[in-house]
A and B are shown apart, each in its own frame.
Chain A
Amino acid sequence: GAVVSQHPSRVICKSGTSVKIECRSLDFQATTMFWYRQFPKQSLMLMATSNEGSKATYEQGVEKDKFLINHASLTLSTLTVTSAHPEDSSFYICIVGGDYYGYTFGSGTRLTVV
């Protein structure tokens, strides 16, 4: 099956710094990748849809300037959390697919902002 690599799996950063999370599809081309966030005891919530070669589509309430998404190639999408604050601490995950071939999950990134 399809393989998606997400890196890093865990990151601790200082408040005010930026963190980049990568999502790579290793064996197929992904026109679209989804970025989700999960707070404790809550659902995985869609943050944005990353589209190769064009701007990401953000969900309502998600700050575009804070969560920068770049999908420069068919195999790589990056999520950069800019000027991170403790409230950005969360579990971030990319999901690839969504057409008739199903979905593949990245392994997730646990971000802790101190």
Chain B
Amino acid sequence: DQQVKQNSPSLSVQEGRISILNCDYTNSMFDYFLWYKKYPAEGPTFLISISSIKDKNEDGRFTVFLNKSAKHLSLHIVPSQPGDSAVYFCAASTPTGTASKLTFGTGTRLQVTL
């Protein structure tokens, strides 16, 4: 049962344009969402997060949007740069003040072309 889904396995975007990565979830108990980036042979690195009390969070070129009614979140990268080429994972959890596990999507490989 894949509770967090990234339906696009890959995405190609031209440098300077916007990259939009999508993520859907099924568990309505999730209330905290994160995006991670992973380069080959490296561990994932944290990008940006959003709590369910918000619908948008912005950090530099990265913005995450959350649509709770649709159980959908997206990551926007503007402008896209070649160094952004990586695999992006969304993840969700239900923080309760004690440690809560993350549930990951399958990832979307972003290729930013020149």
Residues of A within 8 A of B (CB): 6, 9, 31-32, 34, 36, 41-46, 49, 93, 95, 97-100, 102-108, 110
Please, which residue of chain A has its CB at the minimum distance from the CB of B3?
A: A43
On chain A, the residues within 8 Å of B44 by CB distance are: 44, 93, 105, 108
Total A-B residue contacts, Cβ distance less than 8 Å: 67
Q: Which of B84-103 contact A (CB under 8 A)?
A: 89, 91, 93, 95, 97-103
What is the size category of the interface that chain B forms with chain A?
20 to 34
- Contact B46 A105, beta carbon cutoff 8 Å: yes
Most buried by A among B43, B46, B49: B43
On chain B, the residues within 8 Å of A95 by CB distance are: 102
Query: Which single member of A31, A49, A105, A107 contacts B36 (CB below 8 Å)?
Result: A105
Q: Which of B1-49 contact A (CB under 8 A)?
A: 2, 4, 9, 34, 36, 41-46, 49
- Contact A49 B4, beta carbon cutoff 8 Å: no
For the complex, give the distance between the alpha carbons of A8 and B41 in Å: 12
Query: Which single member of B4, B9, B99, B103 contacts A31 (CB below 8 Å)?
Result: B99
Q: Could you jot down 18 A-B contacts, CB within 8 Å?
A: A32-B99, A34-B101, A36-B104, A43-B2, A43-B107, A46-B103, A49-B99, A93-B44, A98-B98, A98-B99, A98-B100, A100-B97, A102-B49, A105-B43, A107-B43, A108-B42, A108-B43, A108-B44
- Contact B101 A46, beta carbon cutoff 8 Å: yes
Q: Does B106 contact A (CB under 8 A)?
A: yes
On chain A, the residues within 8 Å of B100 by CB distance are: 98-99
Known contacts A31-B99, A98-B93, A103-B34; decide if A43 and B105 are in contact (CB<8 Å).
yes
For the complex, give the distance between the alpha carbons of A44 and B43 in Å: 11
Most buried by B among A34, A44, A100, A107: A44
Tell me, rounded to whole Å, the shortest Cβ–Cβ distance linking A47 to chain B: 10
For the complex, give the distance between the alpha carbons of A43 and B5 in Å: 9
For the complex, give the distance between the alpha carbons of A88 and B22 in Å: 31
